[in-house]
Amino acid sequence: MQEQIQKYELKNQKSFKLKDIFECGQCFRWNQEPDGSYTGIWKNNVVNVKQNKENITFEGICQNGKIEEEVIKYFDLYRDYEKIKEKLAQIDENMKLSIEYGEGIRILNQELWETIISFIISANNNIPRIKGIIERISKKYGKEIKFKNKSYYTFPTPEELKDVKVEEYRKLGLGFRDIRLYETTKMILEKKVDIQELEQNSNTQEVREKLLTLSGVGPKVADCILLFSTLKRFEVFPIDVWVRRVMNDLYIKESDENKVSKKKIESLAHQKFGNLAGIAQQYLFYWRREIRMIGTGNFVRNRMDNSVQIGERNGVSSTFIRIRMKWPVPIIRERKKNGIKNNIWKSGQWKK
């Protein structure tokens, strides 16, 4: 029996851009379609999202309710991100520029259990591989949902994984994470860590400490779970290599970023961003990672005169490349054979 496809249209929705939401590192089950839309699955829902400027169309199968209710909750549509951005942008120019780059980010309300396992899998991993592992686990142990003649699979519940052995996880490509997934599932099934109690506990530190008892959950993974799941603790500030780098580049300015302690970064983040530190982290992380993705060039931003410099480290490419990125200022990187080409954007023009 073909399940009924539901549709929900959202008009004039600000602070909502598909790429910003789905490519900022918070989720792993959304994929871009050839037409630019995204299709994803959460809980027992498979939904395609299309955007035309500020108008968004959601179409899909929602087995447990109305698509409107599921979408509003998952995308946190009752939260006013315009006010959040306005408040954060007043902190300093760096924060303002980061927000302009990732203006469409919204932090999703992802199911806590799935978020725990997803970020355990994310340890020392890259996004394509994380997505592949999660998809294989879901296909093998989750439930199938048919949408537009294509099969999608729900993320398996702890009960659906209760008999899975470490060796079976290993065959799915989890590597050293196989034992961690096995042990964490067992702990949750035995109520050593109670998912429902975590969601009901308003004390972030207590919840964090409980998460840290799970196999494979360290401080960064715990903070990602706190921020990106239904726990929604915006005061946490997950720190990885890119967050460390951008905080050092923009604020701390230590010559060796590896000497900057996480404690120092956390202290600075909470001092500057307060109870919105987690959202600030997403703007900063997304911006820094996207800058890195244009290539292997150095990125230096002069805080004094707001100039931007892009330069090659090795300058070995024989191909002339000109790239324009969406950023608060245009970025052009030029690579030439046997030389380093630097461009500086300053006062409205490029100076060589």
pLDDT surpassing 60 at residue 195: yes
Q: Which residue has the higher pLDDT, 31 or 298?
A: 31
In a domain, 117, yes or no: yes
* Per-chain mean pLDDT for the chain: 85
Q: Is 237 helix (H, G, I), strand (E, B) or coil?
A: coil
Element (H, E) at 117: helix 112-121
For the record, the structure tokens of 278 come out as: 């987690």
Residues 118 and 195 in one domain: yes
Residues 133 and 59 in one domain: no
In a domain, 71, yes or no: yes
Residues 186 and 133 in one domain: yes
Distance CA 80, CA 77 (A): 8
34-64 pLDDT, tens digit each: 999 999 999 999 999 999 999 999 999 999 8
- Local structure of residue 249 (DSSP, 8 states): I
90-127 pLDDT, tens digit each: 999 999 999 999 999 999 999 999 999 999 999 999 99
Domain span including residue 130:
112-137+170-228
| Type of residue numbered 35 | D
Amino acid 2: pLDDT: 59
Residues 52 and 116 in one domain: no
Q: Of 197, 228, 259, which marks where a domain is finished?
A: 228
If pLDDT is split at 50, 70 and 90, which confidence band does 66 have? very high
| Type of residue numbered 203 | N
In a domain, 86, yes or no: no
- Residue whose structure tokens are 């120019």: 93
Amino acid 293: pLDDT: 53
In a domain, 151, yes or no: no
In a domain, 196, yes or no: yes
Residues 116 and 224 in one domain: yes
CA diameter of the chain: 65
Amino acid 326: pLDDT: 37
Sign of CA dihedral 214, 216, 222, 228: negative
Amino acid 50: pLDDT: 98
313-349 pLDDT, tens digit each: 233 232 222 233 333 433 333 333 334 334 433 333 3
Amino acid 292: pLDDT: 61
For the record, the structure tokens of 23 come out as: 């490519």
Mean pLDDT of 246-250: 92
- Please state which of the ranges 238-247, 277-286, 289-298 shows the lowest mean pLDDT: 289-298
**CATH number for the domain including 40?**
3.30.310.260
In a domain, 351, yes or no: no
DSSP codes, 24-40: SSS-SSEEE-TTS-EEE
Residues 125 and 210 in one domain: yes
pLDDT surpassing 70 at residue 309: no
Residues 49 and 119 in one domain: no
Mean pLDDT of 169-173: 96
Answer for the pair 90, 34: CB distance below 8 angstroms, yes or no: no
In a domain, 130, yes or no: yes
Domain count across the chain = 2
Element (H, E) at 46: strand 45-52
pTM: 0.83
